Amino acid sequence: MNDSIDSYDPSNGYYTGNIPIYRNNYTSNFKPNTSNIYFRHSYSPPAHENIYLQEKQQSNTVNPRYLNMSNHHQQQQPQQRLTADRYGFENSGSSSTAYYNRIFAQAHSNTYASRYQNPCFPSTTLKQSRETLPIMDDPPLDYLHYTMDSLIQQLVPNETYIPKQSFIYPMFLCSRIHIQPSILLYKLAQSTMNSIKNLTRDRSIRIMNNFLNILSQWTRTFPYDFRNTDMITQLDEILKQINFYEPTLQSNTHSIKKKLLSKLKALENYEEYIRQLNTKALNNHTHIALTTDIINECPTPILFAQQLTHIELDRLKPIGAEELIQYYIMKLSSEEIRAHPNKTSNTQTRTSNDKLSDIVHDKKLTFCLETYVQWFNRLTSFVTTEIVKHTQRRLRIRLINYFIDTAYECFRLNNFNSMIGIIGGLNMQPVKRLKRTWEKIQSNKLEELEQYMNVTKNFANYRLLLKSAIEEADKYGWIVDKIVIPFTSLVLQDVYFIKTHSKDDTVEGGINLKKYYSMAKFISEEFVQCKQSKCSFERNDVIINYITTSPIFNEDSLMLASYECEPPITPNEKEKWSMLQAKMYTSS
């Protein structure tokens, strides 16, 4: 068995060797009247990513006393980074319902029937119709009395109309704020099937075809929803019933299910690849891995920036738009249960609405989004580690200049996430305090880049830069090398702002449909369409392997290494140094 991580061959569905695991991003035929693009864009993953790390003997300038501490950073990640446990994504049943205790009552929806009850299908025989149908106008945004049931009725097709995609996308994306996707699917199917009970065969056929069209859009655009057991079970039952009542629709139902399963399998493989990659990084504490540096592996900043861009796109493209919404649903529900721990702890005193809200929340992991956030954190720590592990000042100076030049190349490539990650690493205290090192650095280029991290006027400089880059890429149809990789932490911050500063409900107690549209528009324009980015420069797997698997120091090890580079000067630094040394010897 070699050191490479087994990878996924899409042709056979299991691991075979030296190529990576990816979940494709899939196109949708959603085309709103405006230029806003609310769908997941096409993605062709690179063919290879050998994560075997070539072990080359390099000159040893590392602080030897910290070799055994370098891997602690990965071990402490659950405390420092976004994890499922931290926000109760999987393990906290109570936190997953608290957020909805208030919202569910305000949605004014009818009581949900048993989730295992099948929608009522008519006994009429169906057949396909290829007739092109007009579409309904979007429901007015200024109406104050929408209930979830009334919005679901807007999704229900009839024989001559289907809802616009400009309504379907925001509804499927944002309705999870009020209702679990499995409940939405149940009610949509039930309403559709009830609508054709007393219709003629031909009219029923047209409605059924339109319903399958809506299901197809859902499974293509938000496939993650169908990882939920209730969702996939309901979908299977719906498709089986359609096949039973109209065998000629089997090709359509089979196509929907086949494409969905392919997407879900690809997602599973991507997740397994990331887990294996993290395991390799966690165990990669060989002497050679700790004594080399990025310049030995990647001699030029341009090449480094290009490989960072490959990594960014690998991790950006699998993220579903719904993950941005779901993450904050999870976060807010956890915050609410911590703020009101007694609200759901006593099951005997809970109201019917409280119990009903148990089924509103999907315990859904936001794996791809969290993986991307963890990658950004790793890049920041990687930059800091690469600098402070060298005791020779000339090597630290060389590396700082190298990283500044790399950040500038990322800026030129519109890879803003890596640019800001590198700048963040240079500004971490273990590097920032090295005054004797920094006095030899020409920092004009760094200061120019730092203006885009300035929080003044809510990152106004960066937002103008991003807007210009997106407009340029859109102007040229997102051709190859028209790349835009946004600063994802700011995207999350903006989604959170919209989520918390725009009310879920209107003053009349109805659902705030404007919020659905504003969130969908923002996520589409600022995030989803950037996943169209494609690069033409060559991929170097050895460099990528070094970046993604080389050991990085934890917070304490970084500070100790920094004090080894330049001894503490101030009383505060000396006190901290003594505390860290005592802590290190106690734990050893």
313, 485 Cβ separation under 8 angstroms: yes
Predicted local distance difference test score (pLDDT) of residue 588: 61
Burial of 52 (0-12, 13-18, 19+ CB in 10 A): middle
CB count within 10 Å of CB 497 equals 12
209, 129 Cβ separation under 8 angstroms: yes
Q: Comparing C-alpha atoms, which of 325, 337, 335 is closest to residue 222? A: 325
Predicted local distance difference test score (pLDDT) of residue 547: 96
Average pLDDT over residues 102-109: 38
Instruction: Name every residue whose Cβ is closer than 8 Å to that of residue 29 and which is 6 or more positions away in sequence.
Output: 39, 165, 217
Residues 257-279: tens digit of each pLDDT: 999 999 999 999 999 999 999 99
204, 196 Cβ separation under 8 angstroms: yes
Instruction: Name every residue whose Cβ is closer than 8 Å to that of residue 525 and which is 6 or more positions away in sequence.
Output: 36, 37, 470
Predicted local distance difference test score (pLDDT) of residue 432: 97
58, 292 Cβ separation under 8 angstroms: yes
Q: Comparing C-alpha atoms, which of 437, 433, 435, 362 is closest to residue 396? A: 437
Q: Comparing C-alpha atoms, which of 53, 26, 58 is closest to residue 40? A: 26
Percent of residues, the chain, with pLDDT higher than 90: 57
Residues 386-442: tens digit of each pLDDT: 999 999 999 999 999 999 999 999 999 999 999 999 999 999 999 999 999 999 999
CB count within 10 Å of CB 79 equals 9
Predicted local distance difference test score (pLDDT) of residue 115: 38
CA dist list (Å): 459 to 362, 439, 450, 454, 501: 33, 28, 11, 6, 18
Average pLDDT over residues 364-384: 92
Residue 364's pLDDT band (cuts 50, 70, 90): low
Cα separation, 57 vs 61, whole angstroms: 12
Partners of residue 27 on adjacent β-strands: none
Q: Which one has a higher pLDDT value, 179 or 127?
A: 179
Secondary structure class of 546 (helix, strand, coil): helix
Secondary structure class of 14 (helix, strand, coil): strand
Average pLDDT over residues 563-584: 92
Tokens of 132: 């092109």
Size (the chain), residues: 588
Q: Comparing C-alpha atoms, which of 550, 517, 35 is closest to residue 292? A: 550
Average pLDDT over residues 288-307: 91
Please give the model's pTM, rounded to 2 decimal places: 0.76
Is the sign of the CA dihedral 181, 187, 191, 192 positive or negative? positive
154, 511 Cβ separation under 8 angstroms: no
Least confident span in 79-93, 206-220, 274-288, 501-515: 79-93
Average pLDDT over residues 167-171: 96
Query: Within the chain, what is the greatest distance between any pair of CA atoms?
Result: 87
Domains and CATH numbers, the chain: 8-91+277-587 (1.10.840.10), 98-262 (1.20.870.10)
